[in-house]
Amino acid sequence: MTTYDINEKIKYLFGRPWDEDLSDSQESELLDEAGQLVEKAGWPETYSAAISYLHEACVTPESAINFAHLFWDYGWYEKPIPDPHRLLAYFYYRINFEVEKYDSPGILDSLAITILPKAGYKEADLMRNSQYIPENDPKIIAEAKLLKSSDK
């Protein structure tokens, strides 16, 4: 698969509202396409293209949260995330840590408590630390500050 093909597939997969009404067959088709992309292009290339899309196309709070939901829907949270705090920080940065306003369904919590423990960050494992709150995580906060400082 060429870089162009991967990028086009990422645009297709993430360029839609996460909560749109889909038939079971449409939903199944999207899940199949997301899985086939990873299978054909490989996870590192797919993840890189997805993150590029996130940073280039998802510059509003709503679009960043939309991406987070679709990332979850495609099951990509189960894959190894090389930079989990940076990924999560991007979402918090875009919503300016206004969780109540932009993330009422709690997708960012779900991503954090799944991705971080898988990456070896036991402080985010709710079985070990029931008080973990991603928006208070110093590593996420530090990464979000770096993103904000690069905006200037």
- Per-residue model confidence as pLDDT tens digits over 68-91: 999 999 999 999 999 999 999 999
Taking the alpha carbons at both ends of the chain, their separation in whole angstroms is 36
Nearest Cα to Cα of residue 111 among 148, 65, 151: 65
Per-residue pLDDT at 9 = 97
- Per-residue model confidence as pLDDT tens digits over 90-140: 999 999 999 999 998 899 999 999 999 999 999 999 999 999 999 999 999
Per-residue pLDDT at 3 = 85
Per-residue pLDDT at 1 = 75
Q: What is the mean pLDDT of residues 54-65?
A: 97
Burial tier of 99 (Cβ tally within 10 Å: 0-12, 13-18, 19+)? middle
122: CB partners within 8 A, 6+ apart: 128, 129
Contact 102, 67 (CB under 8 A): no
pTM of the predicted protein model: 0.94
Per-residue pLDDT at 110 = 96
